[in-house]
Structure 1
Amino acid sequence: MKGKTIRTVTLVGAILNVFLAVVKIGVGKVAGSQALVADGVHSFSDLITDAVILFGSRYWMAPADSNHPYGHGKFETLANVFIGLMLALVGIGLGWDSIETLSDTAPPAPGMLAFYAAVAAIVMKEVLYRWTMQKAKHIQSGALRANAWHHRSDALSSVPVAVAVIANAIFPSLKYLDQIAALLVTGMILKAAFEIIWPALKELTDARGSEEVEKRLVQLADEDGDIREIHAIRSRQTGGSLLLDCHILVDPEMTIEHAHGISERFKMTIITQMDNVIDVVIHIEPYTCEERLVNPCSLEERLHQQKNKPNR
């Protein structure tokens, strides 16, 4: 179901990207707008990321196997890095072209047709962004979320184009507004690329989850009457999902079977009540002075425990 949603949403986006890219480049050439042509190239670059998601989702949605016991989620993370790098390369290329044309002595002012094309593109890509992001949040897909931001960057990159055309019509003496608008598009594209690449790199290097994850885990442990303490919480991400491990302290007089039952119950509580957690490893420890970290024993407790410690 998740894979089908990813492919359907991406395919719709790809069809719209082809249409917009052809319109932007064609109108940009006719109307003499370098910024709109650059924007059209940006739309074509979206097709590459669409292809990565369409074909790559079949791999990262595959279930865990003997070679990948934690699943294939990292393939989705690698796809995010690729999407971000492609976006950055497009931005750098467009920026370079804009800087080169700033040396032109009298660049032609773009026509109003470029304005209408830019406004139409803004509306369509913003609608596509909102729809794609809504689907990405619903199925918890990092790659689909990255592609949604790709759509948003495409919509935002059309804004300076529209503004430059209007400004050129009002102030015809300002000859370089279109080139400046293209540079603004470059900045937006590079910012979007960074916002895609950076979280993906953190995920690939097993960076910890957010503080909210640990706080929620502590809260759930506090709500369980059989868990005396929780510590050594660790988290890492894979394909946008979370893998957790922690130590819980229980009554030292408890049987192993009873303690194991508590850990299994706590594991199910975490998976069902925390968003996007796919696995939890829980280490059970006795609630003794040697193991307590959050609430260290008082001197009286230590003496009492030492007194009641069985001889070996």
Structure 2
Amino acid sequence: MAKAFASKNPVSQRMRSIRRVLWIVLMLNLAVAAAKYVYGVISGSASMQADGIHSVFDSAGNVVGLVGIALAVRPADEGHPYGHAKFETYASLAIGALLLLAAFEVGSSAIAKLVSGVFTVEVTPISFAVMIGTLAVNLGVTTYERRCAKRLKSEVLAADANHTLSDALVSVGVIVGLVAVSLGFPIADPIMALVVTLAILATAYDVFKHAFATLSDHARIPEDDLRATAMSIAGVRGAHRIRTRGTEGEVYADLHVLVAPDMTVVAAHELAEAVECSVQRRYPNVVEVLVHIEPDDGHEE
């Protein structure tokens, strides 16, 4: 006997919250990108221009995230009985692809400067003011977005928070490069741009790793933890064949529960509901639980 239970969690409200965060971050990223890139062009700093391009791709990633959330928020239908939540994961993959493109743009520009041997960067106090100011904004955005990602169990926000963090680390590298240039080492500017490239590639790897965990149906809840939750219900003699999958924000779980062989259908139904409620109280991100009732008569062995 099996029974599926749908969560009453406000999934659409979660998606709206994610979308609101993405809009706020988009506006901030555009402001940061404009400040760094424009002054990078004015001063001739390759690393500042590279950092500005990185911030532009942050903004593009926000747009991709907004599109993904718009698709993910749609309710389940005949063709997608489990809903559209994985579109959030596809958006994360698109952000990863944008990061790879950004790495190519930044890296090729830095290599071209190193090959030509022409270094025209001009360092002024304004250069440091721009970089330190945008660094402060990036750190604030990263902290805000990471907290929201954790609270909302959002892959897009987590990926974008890591992206913004890499932007902050890159800004630190650019500041170091500007210091080196001011001390008489102009070659440090394109070298730091290459460091930017490596940071972007590392971020892309992290984004792809988390997205593939969802698409490959990686277990979202440890089996032993879910078993312990089920076993806490009076009448449950055992639990096995435990599986979980889905996105971090929308997890689907199924398990087989062993009960007394002489338990009535009504009692078994009530026990299954109790298991479902216990699982969803412990794990609010579980949107559906499938409980299969089996008699504890040794057949499962």
Whether TM exceeds 0.5 here: the answer is yes
Give the C-alpha shift of residue 243 in structure 1. 0.9
Q: Does 1:92 align with 2:113?
A: no
Give the C-alpha shift of residue 95 in structure 1. 1.2
Q: Does 1:208 align with 2:219?
A: yes
- AA aligned to 1:246 is L
- AA aligned to 1:142 is E
Give the 3 Å change call, closer, same or farther, for CA 42–206 of structure 1 in structure 2. same
Distance 2:160 2:65 in 1: 9
Q: Which stretches of structure 1, 4 residues or more, deviate above 4 A after TM superposition?
A: none
Paired position in structure 2 for 1:115: 128
Paired position in structure 2 for 1:104: 116
Paired position in structure 1 for 2:244: 235
Tell me which of 239, 245, 251 is aligned to 2:260: 251
- Secondary structure of residue in 2 paired with 1:102: helix
Q: Give the percent of matched residue pairs that are identical in Structure 1 and Structure 2.
A: 33
TM-score, scaled to structure 2: 0.90
Deviates further, 104-113 or 278-287: 104-113
Distance 1:58 1:239 in 2: 18
Q: 1:246-298, CA deviations, whole angstroms, 9 ceiling, x for partnerless residues?
A: 11111112122211221121011101211411111111111122224xxxxxx
Give the C-alpha shift of residue 106 in structure 1. 4.1
Paired position in structure 2 for 1:133: 146
Contact 1:33–1:114 (8 Å) recurs in 2: no
Contact 2:180–2:186 (8 Å) recurs in 1: no
Any gaps of 5 or more consecutive residues in structure 2?
1-12
Paired position in structure 2 for 1:45: 57
Q: Does 1:10 align with 2:46?
A: no
Contact 1:74–1:239 (8 Å) recurs in 2: no
Distance 2:210 2:236 in 1: 33
Any gaps of 5 or more consecutive residues in structure 1?
293-312
- AA aligned to 2:192 is A
Instruction: Calculate the aligned-residue CA RMSD, in Å.
Output: 1.7
Tell me which of 14, 26, 34 is aligned to 1:22: 34
Count of residue correspondences: 288
Distance 1:136 1:63 in 2: 21
Of structures 1 and 2, the larger Rg is shown by 1
Greater relative contact order, per chain length (Cα 8 Å cut-off, separation 6+): 2
Q: 1:12-71, CA deviations, whole angstroms, 9 ceiling, x for partnerless residues?
A: 222222222221111112222100001111111122211122233222112222222111
TM-score, scaled to structure 1: 0.87
Distance 2:220 2:281 in 1: 18
